[in-house]
Amino acid sequence: MSVIIKAENISKAYQLGQIGTGTLSRDIERTFARLRGKEDPFLKIGESNDRSKKGTSDVAWSLRDINFEIQAGDAVGIIGKNGAGKSTLLKILSRITSPTTGRIDIMGRVASLLEVGTGFHPELSGKENIYLNGAILGMRKSEIKSKFDEIVDFAGVERYIDTPVKRYSSGMYVRLAFAVAAHLEPEILIVDEVLAVGDAEFQKKCLGKMKDVSNNDGRTILFVSHNMAAVKQLCTKGIVLKNGGLVFQGTQDEAVNFYQNENDTDTSFLHKGDLNEAPGNENIRILKFEVRSLSTGEISISTGFEYELEFYNHKEGINLDATFELRNADEVAVFHNGEILSSNKDSKQGIYTVKGTIPPNLINAGSFHFNLIFGENQRFALFTKENFLQFEIANEALGLHTHRIPGILRIPIEYTTSFRSNR
């Protein structure tokens, strides 16, 4: 197969704070360097895009020295934590922004779905936007017309097709936008996490459509998602980004395993020092979070586990709640529930402690992590912390964490059997 996308030393820098270098002479020097094809003299080289650490430069490298080749017909999953550079890479591939350094060669038409309503004009109707997007992709009116009914049927918005899209809900927006991008036959389809806006049935429908155009039509798919199960299902290859750098390329299973192993952490967090430097914001500061076995040793299926959260609340006089969301390595939610800490608008400033217990022989072996959501009236989020405290549940019957049996639950089930002869 031929190479359809080739990236060579792609880097993208953004300046933090105020635009410009501070003086007119520096701005002129920067302009002359660009006109001569030289690198910006005021970009600091070598500082990675790690949001958790304070940098010494006012320049953040969203991407740094990215190199890869993608073959025609490949379905490639782009994996990484929030802030790893995934969306920036897709914007460069979509020609929305240019790289600071390096070059990228793309052979073929590109359709992108990066944000809800990308490429749509809010004042135009759904029908008019279908024709507008087709024209942007270089298609003739007759070609678009032949696909029109199929697009409307897939999106399920026939009743509103003559209504301006500014009146669409976010779900209707993304339905129509995906249908247009997938059916107007681009050689390359780029899809960001935007599909999370749709309902579960539509997400499944979209994955099926992307798999179909990749396998049957030979089109190239670039797919960003935090749902590892979706990446495994759709993609054949994977790219892992971390702090703006490309850290792994391989098959989709190899990439997912690399990403999950990279993100294993200790089973406890304890903040020491200044309260204002603890994870959180002006409402909530996390002081401690720990997951531990209900018996001695490591957490396993038969031991169960308990988790304990300690946090400082700054908001007085509200209905305060803390929600725990446990997800497995494929980003499938195991449970999402929590505790109402004050129900009569009587929350206090100070330290709250919440404990939860998962009994033995309930959850299967594998890698898991918690998302924490602190709220007011169980509606308004005060602070959210994702991918916090990743840990392993071992399957002691098999001995190794890597020996995993499918499924989320591992409950003991009593079976009855019977037998009778054929006579």
Q: pLDDT per residue over 372-404, tens digit each? A: 999 998 778 899 998 888 888 887 665 444 446
Instruction: Give CA–CA dist 33/28, Å, rounded.
Output: 9
Domain that includes residue 195, residue range: 3-11+70-262
3-state secondary structure of 405: coil
Query: Does residue 185 belong to any structural domain of this protein?
Result: yes
- Computed over every residue of the chain, the mean pLDDT equals 83
CATH code of the domain containing 295 = 2.70.50.60
Q: Are residues 299 and 381 in the same domain?
A: yes
Q: Are residues 236 and 309 in the same domain?
A: no
State the pLDDT at residue 401: 43
Are 347 and 355 a contacting pair, CB within 8 Å? no
Q: Are residues 189 and 279 in the same domain?
A: no
State the pLDDT at residue 290: 93
Query: Does residue 250 belong to any structural domain of this protein?
Result: yes
Average pLDDT over residues 60-89: 88
Q: Are residues 188 and 329 in the same domain?
A: no
Q: Are residues 253 and 304 in the same domain?
A: no
3-state secondary structure of 183: helix
Residue 136 has pLDDT above 70, yes or no: yes
Q: Are residues 186 and 136 in the same domain?
A: yes
State the pLDDT at residue 400: 43
Q: Are residues 213 and 350 in the same domain?
A: no
Query: Does residue 285 belong to any structural domain of this protein?
Result: yes
CB atoms within 10 A of CB 101: 18
Residue 281: partners with Cβ closer than 8 Å, 6 or more residues away: 382, 383
Q: Are residues 123 and 256 in the same domain?
A: yes
Average pLDDT over residues 324-347: 90
Provide the domain count of the chain: 2
How confident is residue 287, by pLDDT bands cut at 50, 70 and 90? very high
Query: Does residue 422 belong to any structural domain of this protein?
Result: no
Instruction: Give CA–CA dist 379/92, Å, rounded.
Output: 36
How confident is residue 198, by pLDDT bands cut at 50, 70 and 90? low
Average pLDDT over residues 272-299: 90
Query: Does residue 59 belong to any structural domain of this protein?
Result: no
Q: Are residues 256 and 112 in the same domain?
A: yes
Residue 252 has pLDDT above 50, yes or no: yes
Q: Are residues 127 and 251 in the same domain?
A: yes
- pTM for the predicted model, two decimal places: 0.63
Query: Does residue 419 belong to any structural domain of this protein?
Result: no
CATH code of the domain containing 203 = 3.40.50.300
Instruction: Name the more confident of 30 and 5.
Output: 5
Residue 46 has pLDDT above 50, yes or no: no
Q: Are residues 279 and 329 in the same domain?
A: yes
Average pLDDT over residues 270-276: 91
Query: Does residue 257 belong to any structural domain of this protein?
Result: yes
Residue 16 has pLDDT above 80, yes or no: no
Query: Does residue 45 belong to any structural domain of this protein?
Result: no
Q: Are residues 297 and 233 in the same domain?
A: no
> Which structure tokens are listed for 155?
């999106």
For 203-207, 269-273, 354-358, which range has the lowest pLDDT when averaged over its residues?
203-207
